[in-house]
């Protein structure tokens, strides 16, 4: 067979294989876009576990009508413009591939009204084929509608699970986000019924959000962590050994606000608990690590579940030392509990 350049739609569908695994990945990408646009309230409406419909509306900065086709074009982003920007990226998105990928495997519509414009506009995209931009009434902000996910990719559709399972993935991801962004109001509805609501209460919310998200028990039996050294800062909550878990279901780690998985940091936490937890029990924690974005590469994986640290060893030891010392102090009889 001779070598040929693939058509754009097919390129997007191939990329979608990496970015869009299931409805929860679509929700993640779209909500992260809303956050990058400065939204303070995000409404997520689902039907049939998100397979039939995912509709996400935000009150962020919006997109100008003329820019709508660009927003669904591949490698088009407003978030970085140079390698320098990439190396110090502070937004959740930067690859410019979520919207084109999602739009290539669904019946999609992007509707928005840019800050300061009087009218909104909408752009439908069907399986990657762009329609026309037409005026549409919309409050300032953006609504993205994704219908019939994978309708044109039967091989992927086959891998979608039962409605309950897909909804469960979305709710778990939302919990992860809610812990990191108590300043944003998040509402989830499923098949027309309100199913979750996280109120955005500004500054005081973090402790309340912890309790509402992980339960009163967790918040009563935790230690506040707040430590900085060598340009690294670690804050959050870790559970007392008395609140250990049978599984790793309450382990939340964020690096510069982004939820990630990291084996080295997970190991550091485990080691810090080594003397105080029974064998086979898992610690519970919500930890936020902040560092200069230049010290961490977030462009490791299309879905951005992992990052790469420039000084991984230093970070491992910093996390271990911070938690180990905090746990040692409780054994000396310090009082615990969530507080802001």
> Which positions lie near ligand ADP, rule CB under 6 A?
29, 33-34, 37, 58, 60-63, 71, 77-79, 93-99, 142
Quick one: 33 or 143, whose CB is closer to Mg ion? 33
Quick one: 60 or 182, whose CB is closer to ligand ADP? 60
What angle do the packed helices 312-331 and 263-273 form, to 10 degrees? 20
Q: How far is the CB of 4 from ligand ADP (least distance, A)?
A: 26
**Among residues 60, 61, 93, 128, the one that binds Mg ion under rule CB under 5 A:** 93
Number of residues that bind Mg ion (CB under 5 A): 3
Site track for Mg ion across 18-57, x = CB under 5 A: ---------------x------------------------
d(CA 327, CA 321): 10
Which of ligand ADP, Mg ion, none binds 78 (CB below 5-8 Å, type-dependent)?
ligand ADP
66 touches 82 (CB < 8 A): no
| Token pair 């003329």: residue | 66
Query: In the numeric block, which tokens belong to residue 248?
Result: 């790793």
For the chain, report the end-to-end CA distance as a whole number of angstroms: 64
Quick one: 100 or 283, whose CB is closer to Mg ion? 100
Quick one: 33 or 206, whose CB is closer to Mg ion? 33
Quick one: 93 or 283, whose CB is closer to Mg ion? 93
User: Which spans in 182-292 are helix H?
Assistant: 205-214, 216-220, 263-273
48 touches 150 (CB < 8 A): no
98 binds Mg ion (CB under 5 A): yes
Q: Which stretch binds Mg ion (CB under 5 A): 12-20, 97-105, 280-288, 315-323?
A: 97-105
Q: 140: how many CB neighbours lie within 10 A of its CB?
A: 16
Nearest Cα to Cα of residue 30 among 70, 71, 88: 71
Contacts with Mg ion, residue ranges (CB under 5 A): 33, 93, 98
């Amino acid at each position: 067979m001779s070598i040929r350049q693939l058509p754009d739609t097919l390129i997007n569908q191939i990329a979608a294989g990496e970015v869009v695994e299931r409805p929860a990945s679509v929700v993640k990408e779209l909500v992260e876009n809303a956050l990058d646009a400065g939204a303070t309230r995000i409404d997520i409406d689902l039907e049939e576990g998100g397979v039939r419909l995912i509709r996400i509306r935000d009150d962020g900065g919006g997109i100008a009508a003329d820019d709508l086709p660009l927003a669904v074009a591949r490698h088009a982003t407003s978030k970085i413009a140079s390698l320098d920007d990439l190396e110090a990226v502070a937004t959740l998105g930067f690859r410019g591939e979520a919207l084109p990928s999602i739009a290539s495997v669904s019946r999609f519509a992007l509707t928005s009204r840019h800050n300061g414009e009087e009218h909104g506009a909408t752009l439908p995209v069907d399986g990657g084929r762009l329609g026309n931009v037409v005026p549409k009434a919309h409050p300032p902000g953006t609504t993205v509608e994704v219908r019939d996910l994978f309708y044109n990719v039967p091989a992927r559709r086959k891998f979608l699970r039962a409605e309950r399972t897909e909804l469960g993935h979305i709710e778990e991801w939302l919990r992860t986000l809610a812990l990191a962004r108590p300043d944003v109001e998040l509402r989830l509805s499923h098949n027309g019924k309100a199913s979750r609501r996280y109120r955005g209460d500004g500054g005081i919310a973090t402790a309340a959000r912890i309790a509402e998200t992980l339960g009163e028990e967790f918040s009563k039996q935790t230690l506040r962590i707040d430590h900085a050294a060598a340009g690294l800062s670690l804050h959050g909550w870790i559970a007392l050994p008395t609140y250990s878990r049978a599984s790793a279901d309450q382990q939340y780690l964020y690096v510069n606000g982004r939820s990630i998985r990291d084996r080295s940091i997970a190991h550091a936490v485990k080691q810090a608990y080594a003397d105080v937890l029974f064998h086979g029990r898992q610690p519970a924690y919500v930890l936020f690590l902040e560092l200069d974005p230049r010290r961490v590469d977030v462009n490791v994986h299309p879905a951005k579940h992992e990052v790469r640290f420039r000084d991984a060893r230093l970070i491992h030891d910093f996390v271990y030392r911070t938690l180990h010392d905090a746990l040692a102090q409780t054994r000396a009889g310090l009082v615990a509990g969530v507080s802001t």
